[in-house]
Each structure stands twice: as C-alpha cells, then as structure tokens.
Amino acid sequence: MLRVEGLRSAYGRIEAIKGVDLEVRAGEIVALIGANGAGKTTLLRAISGVQPITAGTILFEGERIETLPPHARVARGIAQVPEGRQVFGPLSVEDNLRLGAFRRGGEHAAEGLAQVYALFPVLAEKRRLPAAGLSGGQQQMLAIGRALMSRPRLLLLDEPSMGLAPLLVDQILEAVAALRARGLTVLLVEQNAAAALAIADRGYVLETGRVTHEGEARALLRDPRLREAYLGV
C-alpha cells in the first residue's frame, strides 16, 4: 500500500533521514520505533507532505505521491495524527471533527461523526466544548477521530501514547487495533516500543535517520539487542 524508497530529508544542513526504505502492506499495523531524534516524526511528516524531502520516492497504492501537496495526499487516503495531538484548541470538539472531513466538503460528516462518537463516547459528551479544554487522553482521541473523518485507508499515528497514563495508553492502542480489524492500515510511530510491537504485525527500528532493524513484530520483541536498547529489559 505504501512504499518509501531512499527517502532523505533535512532541516537546513542537518539531515534527519538518511535514505529510508519502508513498506506498509494493506491491512497491516507497522510499528516504527526508535529513540528521540531518530527521525520518526520527520519520516511521517515527509509521507504526509508537510516536511520537504531532498531525495527518494513515496509510492501510495502504486502511484508516486512525493510531489503532491499535503491536501492532495489526504484526498488520496492518507491521514495523520500528529505528535502532540495538535487539536484546534479554540474550536469545538465537533468542529475539529468536521474539519477532519474538510476535503470531502463536510457534506457527509454526519455518518463519520456517529462512527467517531461510537469509538470514543466521551467526545460525544464534550462535542460543544473547545478542544483546548479536553484532557490529554481526550485530545488524543479527538486527534484520532479527526484523522478518521477523512475516511483514510492509511493512518499515520505519531506517538499516540505520549504523556498519557498507562490505562489510557491501553485504551488508545486497543482502539487502533479495532480500527485495523475494520480494514484500516496503520503506520504507528512510538517510543513505547513494547506497547507498539504488541499490537503490530511488523516493525522497523530507526536510528539516527537510518533503518537498523526490521522484521516481524514478535521477532523484534525477542531480539536481545533491541530488548536492551528499546524495551528496557
């Protein structure tokens, strides 16, 4: 579904991604793990088109998309839940969700809203409140719901567990697994490697802009070097 080849991206003279190859197949959850500053967020932003690339190709469903503007990539079916949630603070919860369906003109938003509210009932209770007033976990749910409103086929999730209590992390990751069960493909970036690999099919390990390990999630979980470096065992 998604194939990234030889991707490079830089901030000024500092290269954050130094030639990354990565593949996500339809129906998979792929985890992308690595330390802070490894280039995970840069890679996701490059896939969405909000971070310029210096080399490489991005294929989505067989077509090159690396020159398309971000809104065209959303229209093709790639949605991202950005790091730090990035909700539209002054706007109401429901307006945040409606804007998620912006590319589809907001016309068919009602059905999407019902689905998001079914997935995260707490959002329905707070639909009229400004998003800035939600708790961190609720904002994360809102950010995921907003991304789902565009009816994506591929969901890019950047650090959904960041700053959340363990119970909430489980709840969010369960929701991700449930979405996959409905046919959504997910590329999940996490520092919480154990939690991410637990729900993923395959994983990639990114270190200073390069992929150092890749494979089945279960195999990565057993890899002694990774266990020491990322799983804290």
Partner 1 sequence: MDQLLQFVFSGLTVGAVYALVALGFTLIYNASDVINFAQGEFVMLGGMVTVFAYAAGVPLPLAALLAVAVAVATGLALHRFAIEPARGANAVTLIIITIGASILIRGIAQIVFDKQFHRFPSFSGEDPIAVLGASILPQSLWVLGGAAIIVALLWLFMEKTLLGKAVRATAANRLAARLVGIDTALVLALAFGVSGAIGALAGILVTPITLTSVTVGTLLALKGFAAAMLGGIGNPVGAVAGGLALGLLEALAAGFISSTYKDAVAFVVIIAVLFVLPQGLFGKRAVERV
Residues contributing to the site for partner 1 (CB under 8 A): 48-50, 69-71, 74-75, 79-80, 82, 86-91, 95-96, 98-100, 102-103, 105-106, 132-136, 139, 146-147, 149-150, 163
Q: Kindly state the smallest distance separating residue 12's Cβ from partner 1, in Å.
A: 12
Instruction: Closer to partner 1 by CB, 15 or 95: give it.
Output: 95
CA–CA separation, 211 and 208 (whole Å): 9
Q: Which residues, other chains included, contact 113 with Cβ-Cβ below 8 Å and sequence gap of 6+?
A: 94, 97, 98, 149
Q: Kindly state the smallest distance separating residue 74's Cβ from partner 1, in Å.
A: 3
Please calculate the CA angle 157-213-9 and round it to the nearest 5 degrees: 60
Cα 199 to Cα 67, 104, 167, 175, 230: the distances in Å are 32, 31, 15, 11, 16
Q: Kindly state the smallest distance separating residue 177's Cβ from partner 1, in Å.
A: 23
Instruction: Closer to partner 1 by CB, 100 or 203: give it.
Output: 100
CB atoms within 10 A of CB 102: 14
- Using the structure block, give the residue that is written with the tokens 């996701």: 44
Q: Kindly state the smallest distance separating residue 144's Cβ from partner 1, in Å.
A: 12
Instruction: Closer to partner 1 by CB, 112 or 203: give it.
Output: 112
Instruction: Closer to partner 1 by CB, 55 or 162: give it.
Output: 162
